[in-house]
């Protein structure tokens, strides 16, 4: 599992290029997740908080992340979405659902010692939120990038995280 997680982290870094090192990386990905979560800001952070709070050295969290991105185009689709929206402005954390606030604060604190893991977790969170967003939009018809086009925010948020 450790080797797979390291390989996934390297793939995320390669896919996001220099944006991966942006000092506001976590905040910007948080803003993307909030923007596409719409009225359901609890679903993704509740799942991720439960995984972060497990007392298993993040084994289950890493397993789920690796499994989610294993095969298919999920990693590339998520990276394209993030790069297309990398100029998003952070959102005001206090205006978000409490569970999202808790998740983001816990992740930010852990990032001081486990930066690459926390970046992968946030990338995973955006991927999960993006999947849910597409699922709500498709109305029973699978989302097709060629037909529907890339998902890009129409205007950047003006709120600050």
Asked if the model's pLDDT at residue 109 lies above 90, the reply is: yes
Closest by CA position to 122, among listed 142, 144, 139, 107: 107
Chain segment 110-150, per-residue pLDDT in tens: 999 999 999 999 999 999 999 888 877 766 555 566 765 66
Dist CA 73 CA 70 (whole Å): 9
**Token pair 């993704």 is at which residue?**
44
Q: Do 46 and 99 meet the contact criterion of CB atoms below 8 Å apart?
A: yes
Q: Do 27 and 90 meet the contact criterion of CB atoms below 8 Å apart?
A: yes
Chain segment 15-68, per-residue pLDDT in tens: 999 999 999 999 999 989 888 877 777 888 999 999 999 999 999 999 999 999
- Number of helices followed by number of strands (H, E) in the chain: 8, 0
The pTM for the full model equals 0.83
């Amino acid at each position: 599992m450790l080797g797979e997680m390291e390989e996934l982290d390297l793939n995320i870094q390669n896919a996001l290029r220099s944006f991966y090192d942006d000092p506001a990386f976590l905040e910007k990905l948080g803003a993307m997740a909030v923007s596409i979560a719409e009225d359901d800001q609890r679903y993704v952070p509740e799942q991720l908080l439960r995984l972060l709070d497990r007392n298993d050295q993040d084994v289950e969290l890493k397993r789920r992340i690796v499994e989610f991105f294993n095969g298919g185009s999920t990693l590339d689709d998520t990276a394209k979405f993030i790069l297309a929206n990398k100029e998003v402005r952070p959102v005001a954390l206090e205006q978000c659902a409490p569970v999202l606030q808790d998740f983001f604060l816990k992740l930010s604190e852990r990032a001081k010692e486990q930066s690459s893991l926390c970046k992968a977790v946030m990338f995973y969170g955006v991927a999960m939120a993006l999947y849910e967003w597409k699922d709500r939009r498709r109305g029973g018809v699978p989302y097709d990038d060629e037909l529907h086009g890339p998902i890009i925010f129409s205007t950047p948020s003006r709120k600050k995280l």
